[in-house]
Structure formats: C-alpha cells, structure tokens
Amino acid sequence: MLQDLDFGRLENEFRNINAEPDDLILCFHQGQVLLSRGSDDALTLPTLAQLAAEKMPAAPRYVFRMRERDYFLWTDAAPVPPEGFGFEPARQLRQLKSKDICFAILTGWHLYNWYRANRLCGCCGTPTEHDSKERMLRCPNCGNMIFPRISPAVIVAVTNGDRLLLSKYAGRAYTRYALLAGYAEIGETIEQTVHREVMEEVGLRVKNLRYYKSQPWGVDGNLLMGFYCDVDGSDAIHIDETELSMADWYPRSALPAHDDGISLTREMIRVFEEGKEPT
C-alpha cells in the first residue's frame, strides 16, 4: 500500500522548528503541487533554497520527517516555479516509483487543506493561532481548540463462499472495480458502519466481520479501515443506484481486479484471490 515504505515510516510527531535551505517544500496551489519529474519519471520536491533564492517568504510550516529529511508546507503566495519544476494535480499522484514522495504529497495535502479551512475560528470568527507544543490551532478569543480532522471510513469485502462482491461507483471519475466503502456516521461503532453501508449500498445482511488493516488516505482526509465479512442469508443484490453503477459476485479464481501496490481496496482483493483473508 502507499504508506508501506521500505525505509520505515513517515515520522509525523509535531515539532516547532523553522525551515532550513535544504529542507523539502510541499507547495500547493489550486489543487496542484510543485514538483519536478526526472527523465526516469521519478518525482522530486523543491528545497527551500530553490524556492526562496531571492526573498524569505512567509515562514513555511513544519509537517513531518521522512528518510531523514524534514518536510514543510509553503505558506506564501504561489512562487514562480524554479527551472525544471512545474505544478501538477495533487490528487492523482500515486505512482509506485517515488512512492515516498507521493505519500508525502497526499499527507501534506491533508494537512494543507485542514490549515486552510481553519484560518478562522468556527465558533467566533477570530483568526486562529498555531500552538507551539502540538499540531493544533487555537482561538485567542474564545479558546476553541482545533485538531486535524481525520474522517474514519470503511472498506468492505463481502464474501459468499468462494466469491467476492465487487462493485463500481456511479457518477465518479474512478471507473474500476471497487469494494464497498463509506464513512462512519456519528453515534455508531465502526462495525455498525460496515453493516449499515453494506445494507444501504447492496441490500445485504452480513456476519462474521474480520478486521484486516487500515490505510491513511490524505486525498480525502480519511482513515480507511478494511473488513472482510460473510453474507448472512440471501445473497440477492439490490444496488443503490445513486451510489453504484453495478455490483456482482465474482469467483476467487477469476477476479477482474489486481493489486496496484497503492490502495487498501486492491490489496484486499488480492489477498482474497490468494485465499489468505482472515477467517
């Protein structure tokens, strides 16, 4: 999966430090990110020195550390791209080559959107201030404390003996086969989310929920939690046509989707294909 990095983990602990010239900068502008593509298509982020050769910008904000490099968010107006760099759409960047840079971009994008959406206090409208000890915004007027928003959601692989339920979304750019998915609602456990989403999307009852793994998915600010479960009773599918364009049972030996090394959904399909899902 995208977050499985060969050198270890993204070090997300908060630090209150300033950017140095060699630090890497995540610079977002209108849904795009500033990067360079090498001749082998490998991605590179600019350093502070490359972006701010002539003037010191508004202080970049520290976000995380990876492979012994510190990453910062650009907070100034969009710079003129340095030689060899250009802006590219941030949401689509999920290539296996430069996996670490793609994960940094999607995680930085999550934080960028959160900072941008909370410049003012939602309770009283006062400009918020950055806390110095943790990743938190605080309202100096009413004391409102705002922490990064992470939305829990489920990915559900419904099994029926040797068959797996695959579906396709309705009305979305993503047209490949998917597992069922949905956000947790207020007042329910994550297990109840699984039962509700499966019933809403395909009209099936399920049992024997088995948790598999989770995946941070910064594109949409999610923490995805993957579950396998068995159909309980009738396996007749009734799709919610506002959510799905199709859903059907596919045999383990002939699944029309394969692991892309990036998403939890596709890893779960591959694990079922290999007969290694938790039982």
Contacts to Zn ion by CB under 5 A: 121, 123-124, 126, 139, 141-142, 144
Helix, coil or strand: residue 68: coil
Residues in the chain: 279
Closer CB to Zn ion, residue 59 or residue 120? 120
Q: Judged by CB, which is closer to Zn ion: 89, or 122?
A: 122
Dihedral Cα 139, 144, 147, 152, nearest 10 deg: -140
Tell me the residue type at 122.
Answer: G
**Closest approach of Cβ 145 to Zn ion, in Å?**
10
Of the pair 121, 204, the CB lying nearest Zn ion is at 121
| Integer Cα distance of 168 and 230 in angstroms | 20
What is the Cα–Cα distance from 70 to 218, expressed in whole angstroms? 19
- Nearest approach in angstroms of CB 151 to Zn ion is 23
The distance of closest approach from Cβ of residue 126 to Zn ion in the complex, given in angstroms and rounded to an integer, is: 5
Which residue, 37 or 138, has its beta carbon nearer to Zn ion?
138
Shortest reach from residue 119's CB to Zn ion, in Å: 12
**What gap in Å lies between CA 273 and CA 255, rounded to an integer?**
7
Helix and strand totals (H; E) in the chain: 4, 16
Closest contact distance (angstroms) between CB of 63 and Zn ion is 24
Q: Which lies closer to Zn ion via its Cβ, residue 146 or residue 164?
A: 146
